[in-house]
Chains A and B, each alone.
Chain A
Amino acid sequence: MKWGLKPAWQALRREWMLYHMGDQRFRFMFDAPPENEWVSVDCETTGLNVGRDEIISIGAVRIVGDRILTSQRLELIVKPSKGVSADSIRVHRLREQDVAQGLDPDEAIKQLLHFIGSRPLVGYYLEFDVAMLNKVIFPILGMGLPQPKFEISAMYFEYKNRRLAPHMQSVTNIDLRFATLMDDLGLPLRDAHDAVNDAVMAAMAFTKLRHLNRLA
């Protein structure tokens, strides 16, 4: 997948972004990404409202080729400014006392940025996670995450859609729920709603879909 922009324009945009970057220590995010590497990211939050809710844990895992480097994973607990609602505790099982020991959001984000480097991002409904992360990143960098992003549900949709007859393509509703797609891809579904576990599952789905979509 390319940037979708002409290289000359790309270079120009990169210069402009670097110039406006709030914290020049993060210039590495614009380096040429290492070949065949990605980072799968997942956040657990206090809720699903980007405006109101906060991040409480971040899980990220590197992908190199067909290997998922779970041995070099990033697992961060983040201390939110407000309390954690009972509903969300039921989902991610992180109680207030668990997150109270966590990092400040700024500190956690800096660790995450170093972990990601300039690698493209991978995730399931990544849009939400990126929006949550960008809330913290903007004050630091004056910009959001610039890396290319791979959306699992989009890749899965592409894969399913391609296998449908043309007249069915626009009318068939493809079930994009995570459990469904993992099951359909024949991948092990593990304990969900733990940031690292979710990131690893997304990484597996990505690895397989990358092959399926490239082979077609």
Chain B
Amino acid sequence: MPSAFHFSISPFDCLNSEERTLVRNSLDIAYFREGAEILTPGAHPEHLFVLIKGYVQQWDGDELVATYGPDDSFDGRALVSGKASSRFVAAEEVVAYQLAKEAVSELIASNATFGALLFSDLSKKLSALAEREGEHELQSLTMARVEEVFIRPAAWVDADDDIVSVVRVFRDKRTTNVMVRDNQTDPPRQGVFTITGLERAVLHGTPLNELKVRELATFKLITVKPKDPLFEALALMIRHKIHRLVVMDGEHIIGFLQQLDLLSFLSNHSYLIMLQILEAQDLATLQTTAEQITRSVTMLHRAGTKVEQIARLVQELNAKLFERAWQLIAPPDLVANSCLFVMGSEGRGEQILKTDQDNGLILRDGYVCEHDLGAVCQRFSDALASFGYPECPGKIMVSNAEWRHPATAFAQRAKGWLLHPSGDNMMALAIFLDAHAVCGDATLLEQVRGELFKLATDNGMLLARFAAAIESFEEGQGWWNKLLSLGGDEANQLDLKKAGTFPLVHGVRALALEARLSQTSTAARIEALVTAEKLPAQMGADLVECLRFFMALKLKTGLQAIVLGKQPGGIRVDKLSSLDRDLLKDALGVVKRFKAMLRTHYRLDVL
């Protein structure tokens, strides 16, 4: 019934009251029995359907492409193109709203966001979403106050001081601005002299050691109070085209608020965490810092920072954390004569929340380790476990002797994976291909990787076997049906890794191995593949969007799990917003297309 239409669901949540009235007046309700065909290929759809009850399946030929549940709408694309291309069938009895085509067209014309959410391909949908997430960023900005940011204490000079002595203060205090006290006036006044004033001082023509700072200081102060909201401070800086504000508490000057500090505060304290890691003198300090990484991820995510930026930052921080831990545990000669590397999602820089540790160690050929290497490596793995990186179930870590060898032996081993492509070996190879050096001599890793690529000739059979892992999680049409979560039990959790991330990442990895690309991040690999014309540009762009979406979704659900004090695990599809569910469907659809492409490319059907 029209008065009961849910305007809180995407894409209808972006409509104003006038547009809502239009929707209410153009809605009918349709009833379909189980098995009824709602749309057939070639039909000219007259309505957008929004499900009230029941489930609808979308079939392409005899392949089940997607399932729609309550509050989902379909088929926007067909409505715009004027022709349905899939078959929509009521999987169970369905009651659905029908929104007239004319009304939909009118809404698209009047509301760009609505149109983007309804019909666009994935990337447009996501950017429409990003626009909305921008509001969250503003919220986090509106709540912070000036006093929360690092306020730099002000150095004082006298207005009678000459420029040269002021510059000495700049150098000694490592600052770029000073407060100037002028007692010649009545009442005494206060001003600011900054490094930008030096330009004017030099052009002034007077010898600098005779030029008084009074001539060039600004005595009109632009001030903020500690309790002022940050966005006001930012607005002041923008309005006056200045990079710092004087922070005043009543009559008392506290110091300077630098634009750089303000912006870095808004982009979180990652810099401070980095400093703490670099200066940590024991493992206990590192452990507290490791906890801060997750906290900072939460803050960044709330502030609406792009997920790749967070991932890049976390990769940096983790790499520094591992490096520092290794330096604290391993003797210096071992550090110098080996290469510690991380693999898997950590190596690709796509890990955001802490997952299993996948790491290995390559020793320099001929280096004789005087220490108990096993014990050192065990300590390192234990340290990482205490930081919150659980031990890898496959034991792919330095504490396992299989994952620490001299370079030549390591290369031999890697070649062995290629020559005996058993399941375990393929997995090891896949993980190793993403290796990223974090400490020691990185050339050792490059040496091993080079040896590996030499062998990975145009052996099509072998590459096909490697790529075939994308099918290993194939559960028929099973996981599509998980989109149809009716209950709330564990079984209804979609393992995003199996369903989406793994086939995408591994497929790209296989293509990268074939093209012998040294890039380790999936996005960089895709870019290189597109450049080398091994991958259609549109497919590349779609895959990158999907990867981002998967990462963001994993982050979102992972953070929720952390808040609830649980281990991040599967994704409860029934708990997703209908927009996320929509995007997930689109993204899984892209992965499906990509898999089909790989199947033909590697002829996986003949394996």
Give the B-binding residues of A (Cβ under 8 A): 66-71, 73, 186-188, 190-191, 194, 196-197, 200-201, 203-204, 207-208, 211
Contact = CB atoms under 8 A, between A and B. Distances in A.
B52 A66 contact: no
B29 A70 contact: yes
Contacts of A188: 4, 52-53, 95
Contacts of B4: 188, 190-191, 197
Given A187-B95, A200-B1, A71 B31 contact: no
Contact of B30 (A67, A201, A208): A67
Given A186-B93, A187-B53, A188-B52, A66 B30 contact: yes
B47 to A, nearest CB: 10
Contacts of B26: 71
A208 B31 contact: yes
Given A67-B98, A71-B26, A186-B53, A191 B31 contact: no
Contacts of A68: 28-31
19 contacts: A66-B30, A68-B30, A69-B28, A70-B29, A71-B25, A187-B53, A187-B95, A188-B53, A188-B95, A190-B3, A190-B4, A194-B3, A196-B1, A196-B2, A196-B3, A197-B4, A203-B29, A204-B29, A204-B95
Contacts of A191: 1, 3-4
Contact of A211 (B3, B25, B33): B33
Nearest to A207: B31
Contacts of B1: 70, 190-191, 196-197, 200-201
B141 interface: no
A200 B26 CA distance: 15
Contacts of A211: 33
Contacts of B31: 66-68, 204, 207-208
Contacts of A73: 2
Interface string B32-44: 1100000000000
Interface residues of B, number: 19
B100 interface: yes
Contacts of A71: 2, 25-28, 100
Given A186-B93, A187-B95, A70 B53 contact: no
Given A68-B28, A190-B1, A190-B4, 10 more contacts: A67-B98, A68-B31, A70-B29, A186-B93, A187-B95, A188-B95, A191-B1, A191-B3, A191-B4, A196-B2
Contacts of A69: 28
Interface string B460-476: 00000000000000000
- Which of B1, B2, B32 has the most chain A CB atoms closer than 10 A to its own CB? B1
A125 B161 CA distance: 97
A191 B3 CA distance: 9
Contacts of A66: 30-32
Nearest to B92: A186
Contacts of B95: 187-188, 204
Interface in B6-39: 25-33
A62 to B, nearest CB: 9
A57 to B, nearest CB: 13
A11 B27 CA distance: 38
Nearest to A203: B29
Contacts of A67: 28-31, 98
